[in-house]
Structure 1
Amino acid sequence: MATQPENIVGKVIAITGASSGIGEATARYLAAKGAKIVVGARRTDKLEALVAEITAAGGEARCTTLDVTRQEQVVGFIAFAQAQFGRVDVLVSNAGLMPLSLLGNLKVAEWDQMVDVNLKGVLYGIAAALPVFQAQDAGHFVHITSVADRWVGPTSSVYSATKHAVRALTEGLRQEVSPRIRVTLIAPGATESELPNTISDPVLKQAAVEQFRIHLLPAEAIARAVAYAVEQPSDVDVNEVVLRPAGQKSF
């Protein structure tokens, strides 16, 4: 039997947006590699099912309800992880929304929602975890963005803007923190997830599926990228990983 990577076994890894897609796959994958997992999302029933599955497979996991747009809940999420396992080693900020629309449709409420979840949710994660990491003199931020953090097209303007912002924020954080605190950006291309379900325009939703989601990465591919960054020796900081389906060429 292959040995588990030393830098994953026993690490306490907190994951936001873990009720489906990339977050769920990452929790399952890292738990199988020996990490202690804490998952948060709004759909507690799905989290409880995930924790039960991980536990039945011999892993360790806990869950709690989390809305990343509520700063006090993000602080509580990190505190919960500390209370359960004594520390937090990695925060994977994964929660995100993608309600694509043309700017001319003036879907201001959806713009606000993307800023609140995609950008402010990451900022709240930094505000909650950074003091913990500083006190420990060790920690790792992993921010899940999208290839939209370096690309923009019609309908993706606001979504791409939030992802560009997280990319800039992540690089700034990397430069500011102690060398004992690592910072990683992971930018997936089209991936199996529930993101298209947040598109409120039925025509755009269908177009997104037919034109841009022909080739899809399995969510576990992103989980493997997270594991790669986490399992590196403590003096190695994987700054950025960009991965796309081999067939995705245009963006």
Structure 2
Amino acid sequence: MFTDSHCHLTFPELAADFAAVRAAMAAAQVDRALCISTTMEEFPGVQALAAQYDGLWASAGVHPDSEDVHEPTEDELVAAAGLPKVVAIGETGLDYYQMQERKGGRTVADLEWQRDRFRTHIRAARRAGLPLVIHTRSASDDTLAILREEGEQGGAGSAGGVFHCFAETRDVARAALDLGFYVSMSGIVTFKNAHELHEVAKLVPEDRLLIETDSPYLAPVPFRGKINTPAYVPHVAARVAELRGVSVEQIARATSDNFTRLFPKVVA
């Protein structure tokens, strides 16, 4: 019934008792989940997990704030994309918040390596014919500009993809939609003070909407502050449904259909 379009099942918080995670997903009617790679060192485990279980899929990529890790070439990403159950490139994008605020106060100019990495992922996605999973934080202008510069305009030859764990403004959401991207709501949409995001959840067309947990992080209300799990994605769906004035079943069906449409290697 439900699809978690973005989670990190190989992270220690969830991998330590994966059988319980799977059982909780089944009990919550979460049938499918996309397991996200954040480094190439992590990728073999992500891909192996997806290959082992029905209903799990994998991405290949390096998170923008991952430093001191292997830097993949286009060829490496394209090769990874050809492995079984790999349906997306990413997560990739730009994260100026982490690098400037938490890691030494570097300037945007110091983060050219992030922008270079992002371009590599975009080009690999187009070559592989797979969509991108985009992470952007405090960097939406540059994220959108680079996508445009690299030809991601929503037309033929574009990779497309999703802006995951969306936490930006309505203007950014409109720009992403104009470029042909989907927008994914996470547990943040259940937070009481996330007023701008509540408006975004109402703005995104039903056929461009996804839901996710980004687990083990950002657990939705009423589990805020606890370890997140894909079993909690129905709470995201419920809040989105409430904001849009539709049934939870409608959001579950639409977002699952959108997941299948966006990721062409997924078997429904």
TM-score category by the smaller chain? 0.3 to 0.5
Length-normalised TM-score, structure 2: 0.39
